[in-house]
Amino acid sequence: MDATTAPHLIPPEMPQYGEANHIFELMQTMLEQLLIHQPEDPIPFMIDHLHRNNDNVPKIVILGPPASGKTTIAMWLCKHLNSNLLTKENLIAREFSQVPEEAKWNHQGLKTVPNSLLVKLIQDRLHEKDCSRRGWILDGIPETREQALMIQTLGIAPRHVIVLSAPDTVLIERNMGKRIDPQTGEIYHTTFDWPPEMEIQNRLMVPEGISELETARKLLEYHRNIVRILPAYPKILKVISADQPCVDVFYQALTYVQTNHRSNAPFTPRVLLCGPVGSGKSLQAALLAQKYGLVNVCCGQLLKETVANESKFSELIRPFFEKEVAVPDNIVMKVLTQRLSQQDCIQKGWVLHSFPRDLDQAHLLKSLGFHPNRVFFLNVPFDSIIERLTLRRTDPVTGERYHLMYKPPPTVEIQARLLQHPKDSEEQVRLRMDLFYRNSAELEQFYERSVTLNGDQDPYTVFEYIESGIINPLPKKIL
């Protein structure tokens, strides 16, 4: 067989390094920038891009009907993420503040700014240093499809687009209570968001154009336009209902903006499932292995197989099995290392469960170089576990396994002869659960980026949660 056509044996450190340092995303953003700007001299351009290091700055667009609270949300996000806010008003004010034209624009109520001028202002502003360093938030721009397309052609693409939505009647009513603080520009509301300080209250002015008729007209305009803007941002769009308290809207927006989207990076899942006995780990591992082609490694099963296979380890392990004592850690580690270093595990990824059981085992696993990239803790309350395990029965004649609640035996005759495994008695289950919970706090601390799931649901729901945990990037820790 020709050496050059055999599959390449890539050492596992390479994909691990790639995942940990997000190399794929780094290269992808660099390529995107190269294609957008197409510089004559790519190398200096790439050097500048790498120096700037602004792949993860916020690039947000917030859209929504009048009185939905976009400006408030935009301002709060700006303060929280330490970014720059761009609205139509402040773009124009920056540009024309030195020119006496400003008075003319203000007088006309900023209604007739031509699209090309606005887009040019946006482009210039975004090229300034602070925007490239700290990111930007566009409030209420683009207003029409034409503007959206123009911005896109210039290569300005947001990473997150938030659209606020609420029923029209709510908005019209809300707009009647709108008040503006002329000094800070912040927007308050007579019912929902009244400032506590007396001096601000005295300053507040009623803005123009908030009568019912005005608002209805603006809403009509908005609805006409928004339908044609939304398809421009298919995968990065999120609609948040504005018909809830401001703080809730803000928190939803903040969490969304801080999540990364699914990336196309190559990813070999190395999943660790932890949970007390009866939480469904083996079932979930089997489902994962079946759907994604991962290798299902169950520690207990692996040891039994080794004993049966009569390999060199079987001699070591057999006495422990016969005496029904737990096999010592170092032997388990040797068997596990052998299994996990096999080619199919490295290439396809693995799902490990019922190991590690305590902190020492976790340290051992780490020292051998097996780092799981997703860790899940399945939480099931004690009563559910008792219910799941103590009702298990086996039919001694056919070998079929039943469960008195979830999979009852079909006939009374079978039911009469069912037997229970001594391991499934209540005291045994209680013992094993206590053993797990004694160590679980340490394990959760050790695997910092683990995901905790509610295991007390039907298997397919739990499976979907696990899937979304694997496919989506790990949630960032909120600072």
Partner 1 sequence: MEAADSRERQARDYLEKHRIMELLRHLTSVLLFVRPEKPREYLISQLERLRIAKETGVAFPFFLDNSNIVAMFEIMDSSNKGSISFVQYKEALKTLGLCKEDEVLKDDGHAITLEKFRNEVNKRTQEIWLAF
Q: Residue 183 interacts with partner 1 (CB under 8 A)?
A: no
Q: Based on the shown chain and the rule CB under 8 A, indicate whether residue 5 belongs to the binding site for partner 1.
A: yes
Alpha carbon distance 299, 354 (integer Å): 6
Closest distance of CB 155 from partner 1, Å: 11
> With binding defined as CB under 8 A, does residue 32 bind partner 1?
no
Task: Determine the interface stretch with partner 1 among 34-42, 104-112, 181-189, 206-214 (rule: CB under 8 A).
Answer: 34-42
Determine phi and psi for 140, rounding to 5 degrees.
80, 5
Say how far apart CA 185 and CA 173 lie, in whole Å. Answer: 21
38 binds partner 1 (CB under 8 A): yes
For partner 1, give the closer residue by CB, 31 or 220.
31
Q: Between 349 and 388, how does the x/- string for binding to partner 1 read (CB under 8 A)?
A: ----------------------------------------
Q: Which stretch binds partner 1 (CB under 8 A): 18-26, 60-68, 340-348, 404-412?
A: 18-26
Q: H or E segment at 340?
A: helix 329-340
The encoded tokens of residue 91 equal 């773009």
Q: Does 117 bind partner 1 (CB under 8 A)?
A: no
CA distances from 196 to 75, 201, 205 (A): 19, 8, 16
Choice between 17 and 251, CB closer to partner 1: 17
Instruction: Using the minimum distance from each CB to partner 1, give the nearer residue, 10 or 405.
Output: 10
Q: Is 397 in the site for partner 1 (CB under 8 A)?
A: no
Exposure of 461 in the CB half-sphere (CA atoms within 13 A):
7
- Binding part of the chain for partner 1, among 16-24, 184-192, 208-216, 222-230 by CB under 8 A, reads 16-24
Nearest 10 degrees: CA dihedral of 47, 49, 50, 52?
Answer: 120
C-alpha separations of 421 from 46, 393, 397, 398 in Å: 65, 7, 15, 15
Nearer to partner 1, 51 or 111 (CB): 51
Measured from the Cβ of residue 290, the count of other Cβ atoms closer than 10 Å reads: 10
Among 19, 30, 435, 472, binds partner 1 (CB under 8 A): 30
Asked if residue 9 binds partner 1 (CB under 8 A), the reply is no
Between 46 and 180, CB nearer to partner 1? 46
Residues 6+ apart with CB under 8 A from 311: none
Residue with Cβ nearer partner 1 (6 or 205): 6
Nearer to partner 1, 13 or 413 (CB): 13
Look at residues 87, 83, 64, 61 and name the one whose alpha carbon lies nearest to residue 152: 61
DSSP string, 215-274: HHHHHHHHHHHHHHHGGGSSTTEEEEE-SS-HHHHHHHHHHHHHSPPP-------EEEEE
DSSP secondary structure of 355-424: ---SHHHHHHHHHTT---SEEEEEE--HHHHHHHHHTEEE-TTT--EEETTTB--SSHHHHHH-B--GGG
Nearest approach in angstroms of CB 257 to partner 1 is: 24
Q: What is the bridge-based pairing of β-strands 295-298 and 350-353? A: parallel
Residue 18 touching partner 1 (CB under 8 A): yes
Site for partner 1 contains 4 (CB under 8 A): yes
232 makes contact with partner 1 (CB under 8 A): no
- Judged by CB, which is closer to partner 1: 149, or 176? 149
3-state secondary structure of 132: helix
SS3 286: helix
Q: Which of 9, 13, 330, 422 binds partner 1 (CB under 8 A)?
A: 13
Nearest residue to 177 (alpha-carbon basis) of 164, 200, 193: 193
Task: Pick between residue 44 and residue 293 the one whose CB is nearest to partner 1.
Answer: 44
Candidates 22-30, 154-162, 226-234, 260-268: pick the segment binding partner 1 (CB under 8 A). 22-30
Closest distance between partner 1 and the C-beta of residue 42, in Å?
5
Give the one residue of 9, 12, 19, 23 binding partner 1; rule: CB under 8 A. 23
Site string for partner 1, 42-81 (x = CB under 8 A): xxx-xx--xx-x----------------------------
Q: Which of 7, 9, 19, 26 binds partner 1 (CB under 8 A)?
A: 26
| Distance separating alpha carbons of residues 61 and 232, to the nearest angstrom | 12
The pairs formed by 313-321 with CB atoms below 8 angstroms and a separation of 24 or more are: 313/338
Q: Within 251-270, which residues bind partner 1 (CB under 8 A)? A: none
Tokens of 211: 């009568």
**Minimum CB distance to partner 1 smaller for 154 or for 180:** 154
Residues in binding contact with partner 1, number by CB under 8 A: 25
Residue type (1 letter), 35: L
The residues binding partner 1 (CB under 8 A) are 2-5, 13-14, 17-18, 21, 23, 26-27, 30-31, 34-35, 38, 42-44, 46-47, 50-51, 53
